Amino acid sequence: MTTSPARTGVTPARTDPGLNPLRAALALDERPSRPGSLGAALTFGWRALLKIKHVPEQLFDATLTPVIFTLMFTYLFGGALAGDPRSYLQYLLPGILVQSVLIITVYTGFTLNTDISKGVFDRFRSLPIWRPAPIVGALLGDTVRYSVASVMTIGLGLILGFRPDGGVVGVVLAVLLLLVFSFSLSWIFTILGLVMRSPNAVMGVSMMVLMPLTFASNVFVDPSTMPGWLQSWVGVNPVSHLVTATRGLMAGTASTSEVVWVLVASAVLTAVLAPITMRIYRNRN
């Protein structure tokens, strides 16, 4: 006569020591709890970083672009505009830092459109997670790219002779301010990634948007040398205000109003563009 094993409420599959992790997860009796908003966003942010791990070439724009821009503009314009490249570098580097990072924000929309074209985002929308998590997570992951570009630009500048009077604190605050603004500006390219029909179209239209913002600004020269109509544009260009605040923080001369202007502009961009992005994302067929 045999006796039946005691009923413990645990299936044999879960107690098998040789069970692989995937089958063990599928054999759970209880449904896992739904992930929170922050956890879901961080998971998709980690996904963005894993893509860089498996395809390191994706970091070329964050590592080579700042180097090329810094060297090219310093030695092309330094002698003509400031008498020597090192003097011009003191004015140029904060602007090049802003330009290099903002150009990288275009990549956000490009990768989003690539995922859409492959059908990956259709799968994400079917998951029981916080709806904005795939987009917010991608933006958070791209913040690492912005940080890499910032380190490359500042490191090269220090090698070439750039000396920030604001010290380490001023440089760190300038980079943080730049990251906040870049995150808010990325929503524009996220929208383009959702509405454009191909990654190449996203890249082309994004550069058309970004060129007037970065080149028609105070990145390279003092706006007082520009024609009056161009000075008017530079005066309202948010990138110009960002460059002014970045220069001020690095030089130790930034005013509270300059920093607050950038923070308010970043908040307004996010408050306006994030809901538009999510509406397009929900209604996309």
> Cα-atom radius of gyration of the chain, to the nearest Å?
24
* pLDDT value at residue 244: 95
User: In this model, does residue 10 exceed pLDDT 60?
Assistant: no
Over residues 125-141, the pLDDT tens digits come to 778 788 788 888 888 88
Q: In sequence order, which residues have a C-beta less than 8 Å from that of residue 148 and are 6 or more positions away?
A: 59, 62, 63
For residue 60, the tally of other CB atoms under 10 A from its CB is 9
User: In this model, does residue 145 exceed pLDDT 80?
Assistant: yes
Determine which helix (DSSP H) or strand (DSSP E) holds 268, and give its type and residue range. helix 256-283
Q: What is the mean pLDDT of residues 26-39?
A: 70
Best mean pLDDT range from 13-27, 136-150, 235-249 = 235-249
Over residues 239-259, the pLDDT tens digits come to 999 999 999 999 999 999 999
* pLDDT value at residue 90: 92
* pLDDT value at residue 191: 93
Query: Does 202 or 33 have the greater pLDDT score?
Result: 202
* pLDDT value at residue 6: 47
* pLDDT value at residue 16: 52
| Residue-by-residue DSSP string for 81-134 | HHSSHHHHHHHHHHHHHHHHHHHHTHHHHHHHHHHHHTTHHHHHHHSSS-TTHH
Q: What is the mean pLDDT of residues 108-131?
A: 82
Q: Which residues of 114-124 are buried (b: 16+ CB within 10 A; e: fewer)?
A: ebbeeeebeeb
* pLDDT value at residue 79: 86
What whole-number distance in Å separates Cα of residue 253 and Cα of residue 167? Answer: 11
* Percent helix / strand / coil, the chain, rounded to 5: 80, 0, 20
Model's pTM, two decimal places?
Answer: 0.81
Q: Which amino acid is at 77?
A: F
Q: What is the mean pLDDT of residues 25-37?
A: 68
Tokens of 214: 């970065």
Over residues 148-200, the pLDDT tens digits come to 999 999 999 999 999 999 999 999 999 999 999 999 999 999 999 989 988 88
What whole-number distance in Å separates Cα of residue 30 and Cα of residue 59? Answer: 41
> Of 62, 98, 74, 70, which is closest to residue 246 (Cα–Cα)?
98
Classify burial at 161, counting beta carbons within 10 Å of its beta carbon; exposed 0-12, middle 13-18, buried 19 or more. middle
CA atoms within 13 A on the CB side of 104: 32
User: In this model, does residue 231 exceed pLDDT 70?
Assistant: yes
User: In this model, does residue 12 exceed pLDDT 60?
Assistant: no
* pLDDT value at residue 242: 96
Average pLDDT, the chain: 85
Q: What is the mean pLDDT of residues 74-101?
A: 90
Q: What is the mean pLDDT of residues 58-83?
A: 86
Q: How would residue 27 be classed by pLDDT, with cut points 50, 70 and 90?
A: low
* pLDDT value at residue 19: 54
Q: How far is CA 159 from CA 93, 114, 179, in A?
A: 12, 37, 23
Query: Does 270 or 282 have the greater pLDDT score?
Result: 270
Query: With contact defined as beta carbons under 8 Å apart, do 184 and 266 qualify?
Result: yes
* pLDDT value at residue 25: 62
User: In this model, does residue 206 exceed pLDDT 70?
Assistant: yes
